Amino acid sequence: MGKATGFIEIKREEATERDPKQRLNDWKEYAAPFSDEVLSRQGARCMDCGTPFCHIGTEINGSTSGCPVYNLIPEWNDLVYRGKWKEALDRLMKTNNFPEFTGRVCPAPCEGSCTVAISDPAVTIKNIEQSIIDKGFENGWITPRIPERRTGKKVAIIGSGPAGMAAADQLNQAGHTVTVFEKSDRAGGLLTYGIPNMKLDKEVVERRVRLLEQEGIDFVTSTEIGKDITPSELKEQYDSVIICTGAQKQRDLPIEGRKSEGVHFAMDYLTVSTKSLLDSGFQDGNYIDAKGKDVIVIGGGDTGADCIATALRQDCKSIVQFGKHPQLPLARTGDNAWPEFPKVFSVEYAHKEAKAKFGEDPRQYSIQTKRFVADENGKLKELHTVQMRKVTDENGMFVYEEVPGTEKVWPAQLVLIAIGFEGPEQPLLETFGVDTDKRRVKAAYGDFSTNIEGVFAAGDARRGQSLIVWAINEGREVAYKVDQFLMGKSSLPTVEAM
């Protein structure tokens, strides 16, 4: 612990951001880096707790608490405080394959369970993490790690998102020959096409993919298993297969008027927007354009916020985000005690941008969409809503009911549905013949094996929609199990081996 009274003397400093009005004119990352001096002060706030709850990595009441990859947070916080950046990088890389991703887009459950956060603002763990890895790349400390030996074993990984890449990284370092198959034209999964560039610059993803390729991993893009290569061919050619396809089946809103022209899934909108940006700087016209339109985003999560930020940059006429729940409280309530993830009101980057452009927060709460209405040509022109309230039914259960007299008509020419995901896409799983449980691949955590010998599953395909940091956790853990399956034992790091 570098400064025994650091958490008392030093206040938390929030991450710096580019001016909202200015950043709406480009697609660059909205965050701006801290100076080394600020980061040193923020690292000094870490208490080096006897029990560091920041990396307990568990779930409490359905929410993640602490870091699922068990980052050695107090250690690298202290090293940053002392200015020992390279040593901090060494400690960070022991547990996290891709800190440049988690440092940018993880919701930081580590900060929610920080001991300082019991009574004061948490340590700025996420910003320090990103700064460590960025400095590592800037200074050339991160170089290809070429395995000294090869085992002769071949592993195929389906899906190049964070789970697939983490598994590939670990197994490659164990000496196996790893091929990652990706149906899209670029590697990265949702890191590439599901998160907009201003939140995660695609050069950051491509940089990591290039490094993994230099280390010996083969990425095969534009290749769909079950269509371009059959599962039987894959099993014949490889000693083991890992399914890391994610949970990409989007949850629909099957109400009146759903087929109106102008109603889209959020992820479809984000995907074509990012692809057009990367392919041509939007010159090809192959994207869903919000320019001049009244846009409504249905869904109050991060994906919805990313849709807001994208529509704003496309110069939409107006933007509103619907959430079915009431506005969250400004501080923790009694049923959301530390170290649970804090369920409190926050303002995301996209909400700041919407307020800067239109003068108000775009969010509407406790609202339910009743129907979409199209014009005589089938094009969306409006949607109808009603306010909802939370009540207790005769069984003592909380339910939502409509509030009479609160019906409202909203002008809308573009609606984006961002209400989550139901699980992995089924055709691949059916073709493979793996058992599923509630639409997910049936494979126990810690074992990861499916009903088919030599075929494993990890990440959102196995656990359902979750966080990037859980995907990395599962990628690391399944790699241990696959290495054990192939070699009879494994020296890869794992929770089981700790």
Residue 218's CB is within 10 A of a number of other CB atoms, namely: 14
Q: Is residue 116 a contact partner of residue 123, using CB atoms and an 8 Å limit?
A: yes
Name the token pair of 304: 């919805």
Q: How far apart are CA 95 and CA 494, in angstroms?
A: 9
Return averaged pLDDT per consecutive 10 residues of the chain, 498 residues in all: 81 92 97 92 91 92 94 95 97 97 97 94 96 97 97 98 98 98 97 97 98 98 95 96 95 97 98 98 98 97 97 98 95 94 96 98 97 98 96 86 96 98 89 90 97 97 95 98 97 73
DSSP letters for 185-254 = SSSSTHHHHTS-TTTS-HHHHHHHHHHHHHTTPEEE-S--BTTTB-HHHHHHH-SEEEE-----EEPP--
Q: Can you name the residues that pair with 382 across neighbouring β-strands?
A: 373, 411
pTM: 0.96
3-state SS of 295-318 is: EEEECCCHHHHHHHHHHHHCCCCE
User: How high is the pLDDT of residue 498?
Assistant: 46
Euclidean distance between the first and the last CA atom of the chain, given in angstroms as a whole number? 24
Residue 397 pLDDT: 87
Residue 8, pLDDT score: 87
pLDDT at 494: 84
Amino acid at 141: W
Answer yes or no: are the C-beta atoms of 127 and 106 closer than 8 Å.
no
